[in-house]
Amino acid sequence: MSARSTKSSVRPTSRTADHPLGQIAEPSLGPAASLEAAGPSGLGRKWAAVFLTPSAVLIGVFLIFPAAWTLYLGLTNFSLVGFAAAHTTFEGLANYRNAITDPEFGNSLLITLVYVFGSAIVGQVVLGFAMAWKWKDWRSPLRRAVEALAIIAWIVPSSVVAFLWISYLQGNIGPLVEQGTLDFILHISTNWLLQFPLLSLIIFNVWRGSAFSMMLFNGALQSVPPSYLETARISGASEFQQLRDVVLPRIKGHVLTDVLLISLWTFNDFTPYLLTAGGPNGQTETLPVFVYKVAFQQGNLGYASAISLIMLVINSVIAVVYLSLLRSRNT
Amino acid sequence: MSAPTAASPIDQRPLRGVLALFASRAGFYAFAALVAAFFALPMAWLVLAPFEAHPTFVAGLVQPTLDNFAVVFKNPDALASLRNSLVLAVGTMAVVVVCASLAAYALSRVKLPGRDITLYVLLLFSSVVTGSAAMVPIFVLVYDLHLINTLEGVILVLAGGTLPASIFILKDFMDSVPTSYEESARVFGAGPFRILKDVVAPIVRPGLVVIAVWSIVTVWGSFLTPFILLDKPSLLPASVEIYSYYDVGGSAKLPLIAAFALVYTLPVVVIYLIVQHRYGFRFFGGIKG
């Protein structure tokens, strides 16, 4: 007890959050080692382990294990239907060889990359940043109203959102298909999802996800001192120069974090299935839709697992590239 | 209001200054109006069609009525699906709040090697795996555990996917709680569970609200996981149920869909607005499945 009271008087009252123990284990304190084991709240490693167990089990079983299992399943001909359903055999790298030569997979990969690049890396980042930057000093209920619209677009359940966009983009081509809101406003008859499927999907996803970037950049821009911008403006810097020389260097980390998260989300987004189910003719068949079709419509779980693993690898590469950019910025 | 570009403090040439100011303000409002229209137009249908007696795909209100809602509330499948969504959302929330509290507390108070990087990697990982990359193994795993076609199976999968982000968020809250309260409680003989429940939890209540609301909203909207793990009609949540209304050939039941969509959407929007109003909270980070 005496040791503990010594320690609490040593500890700064407002300690930084991250390393509660780093500050306690002062070399000058004799019983520091035992304190470190017990922790400042008396929660020893044993209790910590007990407290961590439920989460560790759930995360291990339903998150890490499935991801690891794709590695094994991808090497088999595991199947829901047909002969292979009862007789799963180890096929080595056959699924991966198939993937390389499968034009549908190549097509799907390309579509996914275009979708991620167009809707997330360009669309959401640019629109989200434009909203945060242009409205930085706009104090008005109107701003909150427009922002609320963007945020509602972001939190409405994807099933509803998909239906909203299907009805929005309908075109009255023929007697059976009715007109949608967009055609009504523009006085044209275009069935956007049939005639411009991937473009429609990209614009949809910009609508769907820009709120996140907007909120992240709203926060980020607060870290740019207004006086710097004022100085730049008075010395005649154009808006582009202000962005390039004053703003961007300060929010680069936020930009990278934003791009990383929305790239991963968009890459794995299943909403395209709800809008177009991959059609017409596979023109919007992103990788998640492709995996779903191979697995649950064709019943080929082994091949679908191999594609899943390729997706995980691509995602990891994206994450590692961004994180190393982030790190190189810091050093 | 101050348009950000209307800066130049003292203008030497008044007329040109006024014109430039006018042009920049017009541009400013034009951009705002365009953005507002871009976000609002697709939503018009959700707001208008439920109240229209004969809804079409064009958002409009010619013959206002509330009958569509009567159709929803008389439809037993629709009601059951809303109840299933509620069970999934509340069930996942309960699992996540309990497990994340325990884990975040332990991680906040005891330094384990590689703690921060592990948490960060898990956070990124969860946004990928719960997305879609692991749908096959998750299906097979849940099948092998005999949890296919059970709400429990969906709850466990969704909890596993939302836990990393919840722990990440909650740990931040726990880190900012001074340990002196816990020390006093310990002096009086309280055990670790008791301290967490009666001392720490009340202090980090805003954090608990954040992860509770966030997991409810996430699960309420989730589609893929229940879509692949449930096919018994009586178990489908609203996210999957509504999809079955408009996939029937060319004859989508628009009055039912429109009203149902609004009933299904309104709770998350209301919860979000309340929480944002009370806690100034924005849904953040590794999040949204």
**Same domain as B257, residue B176:** yes
**Which has the minimum average pLDDT: A206-220, B161-175, B240-254?**
B240-254
User: Per the structure block, which two tokens stand in for B133?
Assistant: 């990359």
Under 8 Å between Cβ of A211 and A151: yes
Q: Does B186 touch chain A (CB under 8 A)?
A: yes
For residue A277, the enclosing domain spans 97-330
pLDDT in tens, B77-109: 889 999 999 999 999 999 999 999 999 999 888
Report helix, strand or coil for A161: helix
pLDDT band of residue A5 (cuts 50, 70, 90) is very low
Under 8 Å between Cβ of A16 and B82: no
- Does residue A192 form part of some domain? yes
**Distance separating alpha carbons of residues A164 and A320, to the nearest angstrom:** 36
- Determine the pLDDT at residue B250: 56
- Does residue B43 form part of some domain? yes
* Block residue for tokens 């699906």: B81
Which residues, at least 6 apart from A180, have a Cβ–Cβ distance to it below 8 Å?
Answer: A166, A167, A168, A169, A170, A171, B57, B58
**Distance separating alpha carbons of residues A213 and A210, to the nearest angstrom:** 5
Interface of B with A in 230-259 (CB under 8 A): 238-240, 242-243, 246, 250, 257
**Same domain as A145, residue A26:** no
Residue B132: count of CB within 10 angstroms of its CB: 26
**Same domain as A37, residue A148:** no
A39: left (phi over 0), alpha (psi -120 to 50) or beta: left
Report helix, strand or coil for A237: coil
**Same domain as B106, residue B40:** no
Q: How many domains does chain B have?
A: 2
For residue B26, the enclosing domain spans 14-65
- Determine the pLDDT at residue B283: 45
- Does residue A301 form part of some domain? yes
Here the CATH number for the domain that contains residue A147 is: 1.10.3720.10
What interface predicted TM-score (ipTM) does this complex get? 0.83
**Distance separating alpha carbons of residues B158 and B88, to the nearest angstrom:** 9
Top mean-pLDDT range of A206-215, A271-280, B237-246: A206-215
User: Quick one: which H or E segment has residue A273?
Assistant: helix A271-276
- Does residue B2 form part of some domain? no
Compute the nearest-CA separation of B104 from chain A (Å): 8
Surface-to-core class of residue B243, CB atoms within 10 Å of its CB (0-12 exposed, 13-18 middle, 19+ buried): buried
**Same domain as B92, residue B23:** no
pLDDT band of residue A23 (cuts 50, 70, 90) is very low
Under 8 Å between Cβ of B195 and B186: yes
* Block residue for tokens 């805003």: B206
- Does residue A79 form part of some domain? no
* Length of chain B (residues): 289
User: Which site among B5, B28, B123, B136 would you substitute to test the A interface, given the most A Cβ atoms closer than 10 Å to its Cβ?
Assistant: B136
- Does residue A88 form part of some domain? no
Report helix, strand or coil for B64: strand
pLDDT in tens, A221-252: 888 888 888 888 888 888 888 888 888 888 88
Residues of A in contact with B239 (CB under 8 A): 157-159
Structure letter (DSSP) for residue B1: -
**Same domain as A183, residue A312:** yes
pLDDT band of residue B232 (cuts 50, 70, 90) is confident
- Does residue B286 form part of some domain? no
**Same domain as B99, residue B40:** no
**Same domain as A244, residue A136:** yes
User: Per the structure block, which two tokens stand in for B243?
Assistant: 């999809």
pLDDT in tens, A42-59: 677 888 888 989 999 999
**Same domain as B179, residue B48:** no
Phi, psi for residue A76 in degrees, rounded to 5: -120, 175
pLDDT band of residue B117 (cuts 50, 70, 90) is confident
pLDDT band of residue A129 (cuts 50, 70, 90) is very high
User: Which site among A139, A181, A310 would you substitute to test the B interface, given the most B Cβ atoms closer than 10 Å to its Cβ?
Assistant: A181
Count of helices and strands (H, E) across chain A: 19, 0
**Which has the minimum average pLDDT: A36-40, A115-119, A122-126, B31-35?**
A36-40
**Distance separating alpha carbons of residues B186 and B205, to the nearest angstrom:** 21
**Same domain as A325, residue A246:** yes
- Does residue A37 form part of some domain? yes
